[in-house]
Amino acid sequence: MLPDAITAYSTYGDPMNPCIVFPTCYGGRLDSQDYMIGADKALDPTKYYIVTFALFSNGESSSPSNTPPPYNGPYFPAVSYEDNIRAQYAVLTKELNVKKVYCVIGFSMGGQQAYYWPVIYPDFVEKYIPICGSARTSMHNKCFIEGPKSALLNSKDFENGHYTKEPQFGIRAFGRAYSAWAYGQTWFREHGYLMDGRYSSLEDFLRVDWEGGFLGTWDANDMITLINTWQDGDVTLVGKSSFRAAHDDDGFASVLRGIKAKGLIMPCKTDLYFPPEDSEIEVSHLGDNAKLVVIDSVWGHMAGGGANARDDDFIKTEVRKFLEN
C-alpha cells in the first residue's frame, strides 16, 4: 500500500482528438518523451491528444526519493506494471475525462506497458504499439538485469538503501554494467565508442555516457525499484497477488490470444534486451490482430529510443501508417 500516491503526467494537443497514451521507459522522464512528439514526428499533437505518464519510481511520480516517511527510501513498496496502468487509467478517466484510448505506444518499459493496457482494459484501448519491448520479461533479460542491479545493491556506499549521500561507487558500477547491452554488437563495430570524435577512449565513453547518465540525476533507490518493475514484467500476472510466478507458456499464449486491440509490434533486429525472436513468438499468439515490423538497425535497444535519425524516420513512417488505418 502507498497512501496518497502521485502519478505525474503531461498532455499535448486538443482533448477532443483521439487519445494516445505514451508512458516513460527506464531512465525516462516526462520531458524526455518529446523525441516522438511533434507535427513532424511519429505522434502529431495537432491530430491526437497525447498523454505522457511517468512510471512510479522515476522521481516524478511517487518514488522512494520523494515519498515522506514511513514509505521513503528502502521502505518504498514494490511496484508492478499493473499498479502503474491502474493509476494511469484513474488519471485518464477521473482527471482528464478520457472515454477511450485510441492507442498506447511505448519504448522499452513503455513498450511493456503498451502490452499491459489491452490486457487490463480490453474495451478501453483500440490499438497498441510496443517498441523494443515485450509482453513479459524473458529469463535472459532477467539475468541481464541482475548484473547492474547487483552492482548497485552490493556497492560499498549503497548501505542497504540507507545512504545519506549519493552512492557514487554503486551508481557508477550500475552504469557500466548496463552499458554494453544497450547497443547491438554491430554498432560497436561500425560506430565504436569514439562516437565520431565525441570521446577519446572507451573509458571516456563509459564515464560520460553511462556513469554520467545516472550521476546527479537519479536516486539509487528509485533506480532499484524501477528496475524491479521491469524484471517482474509478465502480463500473465495481471490480477494475481504474487509478482513472482513460474512462467506458464500455456497461460501466456492464452492471455495474448485474448487481446482484442490491434497491435503493431516493433522490435529491433539487434536488441539484446528484447530480441525480435521473443516478438515473433508473441505475434504467433496474437494472430491477425497484430503485425510484426522489425527495425533493421545496428543500434540495438537504443534504436527505439530516439538515438538516431534513420531509425526515428523508419519508426515514424510505420507508426503513422498504423495510426491512420
Q: Which domains, and CATH codes, for the chain? A: 9-141+236-324 (3.40.50.1820), 145-227 (1.10.1740)
Alpha carbons 287 and 201: distance in angstroms, whole number: 47
The yes-or-no verdict on residue 195 having pLDDT over 90 is no
Q: Whole-prediction pTM value?
A: 0.94
The yes-or-no verdict on residue 180 having pLDDT over 70 is yes
Which has the closest alpha carbon to 306: 27, 16, 50?
27
Instruction: Look at residue 319 in the predicted model and tell me its pLDDT.
Output: 98
pLDDT digits (tens, 9 = 90+) for 124-179: 999 999 999 999 999 999 999 999 999 999 999 999 999 999 999 999 999 999 98
Round to the nearest angstrom and report the end-to-end CA distance of the chain.
41
Confidence tier at 201 by pLDDT (50, 70, 90): confident
Average pLDDT of the segment spanning 196-203: 79
Helix (H, G, I), strand (E, B) or coil at 215: coil
Alpha carbons 264 and 238: distance in angstroms, whole number: 21
Instruction: Look at residue 200 in the predicted model and tell me its pLDDT.
Output: 83
Give me the percent of the chain exceeding a pLDDT of 70: 94
Instruction: Look at residue 12 in the predicted model and tell me its pLDDT.
Output: 98
Please tell me what DSSP assigns to residue 211: I
Residues 6+ apart with CB under 8 A from 82: 116, 120, 237, 238, 239
The phi and psi torsions of 9 (rounded to 5 degrees) equal -155, 165
Instruction: Look at residue 246 in the predicted model and tell me its pLDDT.
Output: 47
Q: What is the dihedral of CA 175, 180, 183, 186, to 10 degrees?
A: 160
Write the burial class of residue 233 (CB in 10 Å: 0-12 exposed, 13-18 middle, 19+ buried). Answer: buried
Instruction: Look at residue 247 in the predicted model and tell me its pLDDT.
Output: 52
Alpha carbons 237 and 126: distance in angstroms, whole number: 22
Confidence tier at 243 by pLDDT (50, 70, 90): very low
Average pLDDT of the segment spanning 40-45: 98
Tell me the catalytic residues. 108, 271, 301
Residue 321 CB: number of other CB atoms within 10 A? 12
Q: In which residue are the cell numbers 502480463 written? A: 235
202-to-26, 38, 194, 198 alpha-carbon distances in Å: 24, 35, 7, 11
Helix (H, G, I), strand (E, B) or coil at 140: helix
* Crossing angle of helices 249-257 and 276-286, rounded to 10°: 60
Instruction: Look at residue 231 in the predicted model and tell me its pLDDT.
Output: 97
Instruction: Look at residue 119 in the predicted model and tell me its pLDDT.
Output: 97
Average pLDDT of the segment spanning 288-293: 96
103-to-73, 118, 196 alpha-carbon distances in Å: 34, 10, 37
Alpha carbons 252 and 277: distance in angstroms, whole number: 16
Q: Where are the alpha helices (DSSP H) in the chain?
A: 81-90, 109-120, 139-153, 168-179, 185-190, 202-205, 220-231, 249-257, 276-286, 309-324
Average pLDDT of the segment spanning 270-287: 96
The 8 Å CB, 24+ separation contacts for 63-67 are 63/219, 63/221, 63/222, 63/225, 64/161, 64/219, 64/221, 64/222, 64/225, 65/219, 65/221, 65/222, 67/2
pLDDT digits (tens, 9 = 90+) for 48-78: 999 999 999 999 999 999 999 999 999 999 9
Average pLDDT of the segment spanning 34-44: 97
Instruction: Look at residue 186 in the predicted model and tell me its pLDDT.
Output: 75
The yes-or-no verdict on residue 283 having pLDDT over 70 is yes
Give me the percent of the chain exceeding a pLDDT of 90: 86
Average pLDDT of the segment spanning 237-254: 68
Alpha carbons 51 and 79: distance in angstroms, whole number: 21
pLDDT digits (tens, 9 = 90+) for 86-109: 999 999 999 999 999 999 999 999
Cα R_g (the chain), whole angstroms: 19
